[in-house]
Amino acid sequence: MQLRSLVVLVALFGFSFSVSAQKFYTKNGLLSFFSNTAFENIKADNNQVTSVLNTQTGELQFSLLNNAFHFKKALMEEHFNEDYMESKTYPKSSFKGSITNIKNVNFSKDGVYPVSVTGELSLHGVTKKISTTANISLKGGKISGAAKFSITLADYQIKIDDTVKDSIAKTIEITVSCLYDQKL
Amino acid sequence: MATSTKKIIRISVVALVLAAVGLGLWMWNKPHKDIKNAHAIDITAEKLYQTFITDSAKAKTAYINQVLEVSGTVSQVSENQQQQQIIFINTGVTGASINCTMESKASSIKPGDQIRIKGVCSGYNSGDADMGLPGDVFLIRGYPTNN
């Protein structure tokens, strides 16, 4: 092998290693939703959120299985999966987007960095563009991310029966919290 | 209408209303499935994972939302943000696990241990091929059955 080819190979290997070292992930992130009405508050948690963050490009992805949401009441969980989310037909929800100002985050210094996130949320067979603010936190070298935003159920073709329309809010608050403790 | 007939109708109506209210209350407060004492499908971590990879239609029908008792070798023990114990069981595929969120903590479990975990299978989340992340098969409401 010529020396030039060898140099190119070594450089390519070094480049791919440095890029891959910028990806952090979790498969046990937390996503909660909260529905607030005068009649009733409903909360559910999903602790099996897979998320990948590329700290160099800001690329950010989330995905979760809808039937892993846990409710306080078994009946609510049943209705969520069978009547509203239709988890058999639409088993997965996902987000694909990016942190648009990733350069504002200093990944070598502890702190809380406000960021802007934009991308496409796919839920119940409908994909819509969303934007929100979030915080990226660095603590002892560990990266975590947190965001809170709202979605309107009608935007995702989720229909609520007239009989329970006073118990379920039209707009649901979503909270996401991920500790990116694994490296790709 | 005779007084006795009216009385019977009145009692019947009250009984029906009480039964309907009772049924409604029972449904509303119905507890979650008792995983510890539920019948479970016995399967190894490798077989469970491979079924989802090679025949996802079969795996979805046979395993999703079912109580499974998965056996294998622990590869990682950690905690999620709600302080629930997370146990990864080795699937034989690098970076891919049976990802178990436990309902009760078992402090003695460590990587390398042989384990059996009973829980509800949520399915396979495919990770991200573009980013080079393999997927996991998820088990929720887990209990260790051999500790």
Closest residue to B133, CB basis, from A47, A52, A65: A52
- Identify the structural domains of chain A with CATH numbers, from first to last: 22-183 (2.40.128.110)
The reply to whether B5 and B73 lie within a common domain is no
Tens-place pLDDT, residues B47-97: 999 999 999 999 999 999 999 999 999 999 999 999 999 999 999 999 999
Containing structural domain, residue B116: 41-144
Q: Which of A139-153, B28-42, B43-57, B114-128 has the lowest average pLDDT?
A: B28-42
Question: Residue A183 belongs to what H/E stretch?
Answer: strand A182-183
d(CA B130, CA A133): 25
Look up the CATH number of the domain holding residue B121.
2.40.50.140
Residue B36 is assigned to a structural domain of this protein: no
Count of CB atoms within 10 A of residue A184's CB?
A: 17
The reply to whether B7 and B45 lie within a common domain is no
Tens-place pLDDT, residues A95-147: 999 999 999 999 999 999 999 999 999 999 999 999 999 999 999 989 999 99
Interchain CB distance below 8 Å, A30 and B80: yes
The reply to whether B60 and B117 lie within a common domain is yes
- Closest chain A residue to the Cα of B100, Cα to Cα: A48
Q: For chain B, what is the domain count?
A: 2
Interchain CB distance below 8 Å, A77 and B29: no
Residues in CB range of A100: below 8 A, 6 or more apart: A58, A115, A116, A117, A118
Alpha helices in A73-119 (DSSP H): 74-79
